[in-house]
Chains A and B, each alone.
Chain A
Amino acid sequence: MGKKLRGAEIFVRCLQDEGVEFIFGYPGGAVLHIYDELYKIDNPRHILVRHEQGATHAADGYARATGKPGVVLVTSGPGATNTITGIATAYMDSIPMVVFTGQVPRPLIGNDAFQEVDNVGITRPCVKHNFMVTDVRDLATTIKKAFYIATSGRPGPVVVDLPKDITADSCEYAYPESVEIRSYKPVTKGHPGQIRKAVNLLLKARRPMIYSGGGVVLDNAAEELTEFTRLLGYPITNTLMGLGAYPATDPQFVGMLGMHGTYEANMAMHQCDVLLAIGARFDDRVTGDLEKFCPHAKIIHVDIDPASIAKNVPVDIPIVGSVRNVLRDMLALLKESKEKPDKQALKAWWKQIDQWRAVNCLAYEHSDEVIKPQYVIEKLCELTGGDAYVTSDVGQHQMWAAQYYKFNKPRRWINSGGLGTMGFGMPAALGVKLAYPEETVCCISGEASLVMCIQELSTALQYDLPIKIILLNNRYMGMVRQWQEFFYDRRYAHSYMDALPDFVRLTEAYGHVGMRVEKPGEVESALKEALEMKDRLVLIDFITDQTENVYPMIAAGKGHNEIILPTDRELA
């Protein structure tokens, strides 16, 4: 008979045996047995956030940057409900995360006990799976299952609800090496026949297009995607979630697609005759009007999740499998194939694409008077060599970051694409900085988004996380204002951020460095200065042009070919 351990000790041992580096957490009554164990150890390191939402975003940022699951620990009731936004954010973007929520002791469950909520019920629609542990002897296996489910197949958040008495009960401890779940067997290898058909179709294409998404990043398949795309010589576009999976500065890259994608990417989508969609899910912000989506194309769709295939758009060749495995198999076939892409056709296709490119859709009017937000991002990209980790919040600044920061590597661009969660960026940056203390980590934010999780500036101070906050302060919920300008006759209902704090003094109050920049001529030197302060968190409050809009734009429900350029608006 081995020694018996208490549930709280078992919990900590499980995380150690799982190789968890950080727990993002916040204590409370239901998890105090666990916190008492955390008191005794340094590994995993507990990072005390200032709001449970911040814990989920920080864990999420860590997971996006490293590919390892983020781990969160919160108390029952309000601690648990505060994690919902962060869990839903991770769910929409398929981010591996394990969230441990405290629960009232089993005998009290269902009695409306103090700080009781039905965590399993509340989180059910926004998790990949969830558990309540009802016997301490199941604790270790359940934790193993949670990590396995969160990280395998299409990744996602898993919640484990821990009644307090379970953490006090004892049993022998053994962490399982692996777990078998008979009802959960994700497919990883693609069907060879389908893969062969796909390669044949791709080789016959006259106007091919590759459209890749976050799945390529999540599956660490950027290298395979890049080799495959270069071998074919075909144009490639990335979704917002897929940026960095193919080098943005490569000539075959035609930019992001969708609502604020480039003219060339969207027009090429509209005109292509064969579309390879890989690790992408045909989100409505990408497809626009489904009736007008890729009207001429035969579609190949590769995804680990069968339910993503043919959900929004009918597909000619579906391939279920891990995108990395499928890309490897396709590469092997391509290399041994005698058939080659049609050179003539491809040349004509590139000629057409270059004409669209010549429109120069990301050009913007420069100014010596007022800071253009696009200019700030361009300068940031230049000064960081396009190699920083960049997180963002949600709004115009997010789109400008995606458009003007040229991501050449995967996992560098970290944003809430699916849920569009304001408040995500800064805590996410803290998670990234913990993972990679030597790297430059920037959070590009808007003044409305930033204040949603501003309290995490304390976390940054406590754990010495010198991120750089690039605040594009337009004194508006810019994206909302833009929609009101375009679609509501300039009735700016409640989109003006009145009574804003002085962000410089606010940052200083939290113990960091704040700077304000109001002139275009000072942008570069301020950025340099901030980037050189390696050991301090710096926030630069850039006072930017209030009237700037994000272009190009495809209005919701329009087709790719109905894209609006800044010149169209001026003419109209």
Chain B
Amino acid sequence: MRHVIALLLENEAGALSRVAGLFSARGYNIESLTVAPTEDPSASRMTIVTHGSDAVIEQITKQLNKLVDVIKLVDLSESSHIERELMLVKVRARDAAAREEVKRLSDIFRGRVLDVTPACYTIEMTGTGDKLDAFLEALPARSIMEVVRSGCAGISRGEKRLKI
């Protein structure tokens, strides 16, 4: 099962490597990991997307909690939540037809064109991972020049929050 785990950790040197090291040392898989400081500069917020059986996920959350730098943690997948990912994609678009097609697709997926040259568009898009995958699928064959994805950031719905 896919799980999205959100955690608050001390904004200390080495905190990220403790989390990353835990996953590699214990053989847990990471689909994506994002991290940045929060409104409180002493803490960072991390979102980890991982896969595993219930027993493995239980161990992952326990082992993460055991890290001295981890302040709080929640498995967002246990209740309804929102996931978003940012993608920047450079797409080849030379002739008029191609340019029209890429622009049209980008609009359908609510992308924004950030940069234009005679040969390409650079498009910004946010959404769930699935939506971003779908956009990449929809683009004309061999038109993708470069893709940058941020990895998933997650937050729970409603009043619930992960706070210190």
Which A residues have a C-beta under 8 Å from some C-beta of B?
A: 120-121, 124-125, 128-130, 132, 134, 149, 181-184, 305-307, 310-311, 314
Kindly state the interface size class of chain B when it binds its partner. Answer: 20 to 34
Please pick, from B13, B14, B70, the residue contacting A183 in the complex, using a CB distance under 8 A: B70
Chain A: minimal CB distance from B19 (Å):
11
A residues in contact with B55, CB < 8 Å:
310, 314
Residue pair B68, A311 in contact (C-beta under 8 Å): no
Which B residues have a C-beta under 8 Å from some C-beta of A?
A: 9-10, 13-14, 17-18, 21, 25, 55, 58-59, 62-63, 65-66, 68-71, 164
In the bound complex, what is the Cα–Cα distance between A125 and B17 (angstroms)? 10
Residue pair B68, A183 in contact (C-beta under 8 Å): yes
In the bound complex, what is the Cα–Cα distance between A182 and B71 (angstroms)? 7
Assuming A182-B71, A183-B10, is B66 touching A307 (CB within 8 A)? yes
Chain A residue with the shortest CB-CB distance to B66: A307
B residues in contact with A132, CB < 8 Å:
13-14
A residues in contact with B18, CB < 8 Å:
124
B residues in contact with A128, CB < 8 Å:
68
A-B pairs with lowest CB-CB distance, top 9: A307-B62, A183-B71, A129-B68, A184-B68, A306-B62, A307-B66, A125-B25, A307-B63, A124-B21
In the bound complex, what is the Cα–Cα distance between A132 and B164 (angstroms)? 25
In the bound complex, what is the Cα–Cα distance between A134 and B69 (angstroms)? 17
In the bound complex, what is the Cα–Cα distance between A314 and B54 (angstroms)? 12
Interface of B is mostly: helix
For B13, B62, B63, B68, which residue has the most chain A Cβ atoms within 10 angstroms? B68
In the bound complex, what is the Cα–Cα distance between A235 and B15 (angstroms)? 45
Chain A residue with the shortest CB-CB distance to B18: A124
In the bound complex, what is the Cα–Cα distance between A124 and B23 (angstroms)? 13
In the bound complex, what is the Cα–Cα distance between A310 and B53 (angstroms)? 13
Chain A: minimal CB distance from B120 (Å):
38
Residue pair B21, A306 in contact (C-beta under 8 Å): no
Chain B: minimal CB distance from A46 (Å):
29
In the bound complex, what is the Cα–Cα distance between A149 and B68 (angstroms)? 9
In the bound complex, what is the Cα–Cα distance between A152 and B159 (angstroms)? 35
Residue pair B59, A311 in contact (C-beta under 8 Å): yes
List 19 A-B pairs, Cβ < 8 Å: A121-B17, A124-B14, A124-B17, A125-B21, A130-B14, A134-B13, A149-B68, A182-B164, A183-B10, A183-B69, A183-B70, A184-B68, A305-B66, A307-B59, A307-B62, A307-B66, A310-B58, A311-B59, A314-B55
A residues in contact with B25, CB < 8 Å:
125
A residues in contact with B164, CB < 8 Å:
182
In the bound complex, what is the Cα–Cα distance between A293 and B58 (angstroms)? 21
In the bound complex, what is the Cα–Cα distance between A294 and B58 (angstroms)? 22
Chain B residue with the shortest CB-CB distance to A132: B13
A residues in contact with B66, CB < 8 Å:
305-307
Chain B: minimal CB distance from A551 (Å):
34
Chain A: minimal CB distance from B65 (Å):
7
In the bound complex, what is the Cα–Cα distance between A134 and B59 (angstroms)? 33
B residues in contact with A311, CB < 8 Å:
59
Chain A residue with the shortest CB-CB distance to B10: A183
In the bound complex, what is the Cα–Cα distance between A183 and B10 (angstroms)? 8
Chain B: minimal CB distance from A127 (Å):
10
B residues in contact with A124, CB < 8 Å:
14, 17-18, 21
Residue pair A183, B9 in contact (C-beta under 8 Å): yes
B residues in contact with A130, CB < 8 Å:
14
Chain A: minimal CB distance from B61 (Å):
9
Chain A residue with the shortest CB-CB distance to B55: A310
Chain B: minimal CB distance from A98 (Å):
14
A residues in contact with B63, CB < 8 Å:
307
Chain B: minimal CB distance from A303 (Å):
11
Contacts A125-B21, A307-B63, A310-B55 aside, 17 further interface pairs with beta carbons under 8 A come to A121-B14, A124-B17, A124-B18, A125-B25, A129-B68, A130-B14, A132-B13, A134-B13, A149-B68, A182-B164, A183-B9, A183-B69, A183-B71, A184-B68, A307-B59, A310-B58, A314-B55
In the bound complex, what is the Cα–Cα distance between A134 and B70 (angstroms)? 21
